[in-house]
Structure 1
């Protein structure tokens, strides 16, 4: 589902970088000791051009993105661990032609922070969690990727892509959205009706609830195994069955794919 422009001449930094539609990037780390748990915070801020992306790639821990009225993207990563040292997990910042990617890189051979579907981020026998908070200016796209953690994008004014494995996804944006998880529900509210390519929402063990503008034009393909499909939007039905629904919203257009196994699918009018 993801659309990525090619990336040439990647620059990687653990705490800071400069160039390529960015200004005044900086980072700060503070160490806080507790009786049972140690924590360390990482902060980065910088300008990213409208239309470019801030991408966060985590492994263990939730990702939260909120809208800001400022011009800079601000990222805070909080690392906590009981058995393992949070310092073992590096926060890497990668500048590329499409924007900025920030990763939580665990100490395992072969791990590498790269944009989009590239790179590798895995963990074994490490209890450190990294939770990201991101402030996103209008027009800057947000992409969140995790393995064990929920993803929440609140009241954004840009396109959103969210991928996780074990965790729920909750998106509210005036732009377009796509989401995929395995163990978790998806709730999304999209304000944009003029899509230029197909979009999809997919889970296995979870429900899908999608809110769209009433004037949206799309071809709907919905599938569930153990659940129901319900719509409040005016839908021209092409094919319907106990586990599937194919139809057209408005005049039709790009495909809207909704798929789950164990829960229901709901389309709501905005």
Structure 2
């Protein structure tokens, strides 16, 4: 295939525009993330709850705080164990937050429930699931959503924080409004997106057309040997780096399109204000 031409002048108008947009995004993210912080001394409280493992999947819904999901350390424990760490300005603030679990059509949903009169509290959740129990949706508004070493078609999403899925036996989706989105060591990719952050994915399989996109950040995608896909990679204001051989390739400074293997589902890699890199994963 033809080699991409030289990148644009890093001091030119496009780079200036990118820096301005990234600065605005970072400022907005910092302002929103500040909603979770508290001035003055904190009151903290730790506890745990155990729920029966469901026949279906386990999903987590949080509002303010991190969510981390993984397997039991010993591999033999039964039940879904939720370690809870509350933090707030007062005892009344953290007492106004409860962590509840409900079984809905065979699925277990663990939620943080707030008394809306007192919202100035955060809750970090560390969730351990038994072997063979699948994980579904893992959500928080202000915090990181991290899923490791479990099974299931995981959807890790957050508004202000990082979304990560690592070593998951399933097809994963990772999304953040203000933070990075990362998927590594999974069965396949179902989607990855960030408005203000980097997107880093490893692509071992696709079920259908799949996007990995960032508005203000870099996009990196490693593709497995033997992956059959059609690739469309576009860098709006950034560098495009294609390190794999594409058949029937069409390559320019900002866009590359071509076929991996026998072709297949469309894998779209896009950054409006950032670099795009497509590279090969080791055997």
With the length of structure 2 as denominator, give the TM-score of the two structures: 0.64
For the pair 1:90 / 2:123, whether they are aligned, the reply is: no
Distance 2:79 2:211 in 1: 29
Distance 1:59 1:179 in 2: 17
- What does residue 225 of structure 2 align with? 214
- What does residue 51 of structure 2 align with? 45
Distance 1:242 1:41 in 2: 54
**Could you say what secondary structure the match of 1:146 adopts?**
strand
Deviations for 1:136-170, whole angstroms, at most 9, x for unmatched residues? 33451332111111122223343321111111122
Deviations for 1:41-83, whole angstroms, at most 9, x for unmatched residues? 342232233xx32111111111111234345332223221124
- What does residue 127 of structure 2 align with? 134
Aligned Cα RMSD in Å?
Answer: 3.0
Distance 2:233 2:84 in 1: 36
1:249 to 253, 256, 260: 260
- What does residue 115 of structure 2 align with? 107
Shift of 1:234: 4.4
Deviations for 1:222-250, whole angstroms, at most 9, x for unmatched residues? 44434334455544465545554444333
Distance 1:54 1:230 in 2: 39
- Bigger radius of gyration: 2
Q: 1:85 to 1:53 in 2, by over 3 A?
A: same
For the pair 1:61 / 2:72, whether they are aligned, the reply is: no
Q: 1:186 to 1:46 in 2, by over 3 A?
A: same
Whether the 8 Å contact between 1:151 and 1:167 is mirrored in structure 2 is yes
Distance 2:258 2:106 in 1: 35
Distance 1:151 1:188 in 2: 12
For the pair 1:228 / 2:232, whether they are aligned, the reply is: no
- What does residue 31 of structure 2 align with? none
The number of equivalent residue pairs is 219
With the length of structure 1 as denominator, give the TM-score of the two structures: 0.67
Q: Which runs of 5+ in 2 are unaligned?
A: 1-40, 188-203
For the pair 1:168 / 2:162, whether they are aligned, the reply is: yes
Distance 1:43 1:189 in 2: 29
Distance 2:261 2:50 in 1: 43
- What does residue 184 of structure 2 align with? 189
Distance 1:209 1:221 in 2: 13
Shift of 1:194: 4.7
Deviations for 1:104-126, whole angstroms, at most 9, x for unmatched residues? 122239xxxxxxxxxxxxxxx73
Q: 1:162 to 1:82 in 2, by over 3 A?
A: same
- Higher helix fraction: Structure 1 or Structure 2? 2
Whether the 8 Å contact between 1:63 and 1:131 is mirrored in structure 2 is yes
Moved over 6 A (4+): none
Shift of 1:177: 1.2
Distance 2:99 2:173 in 1: 25
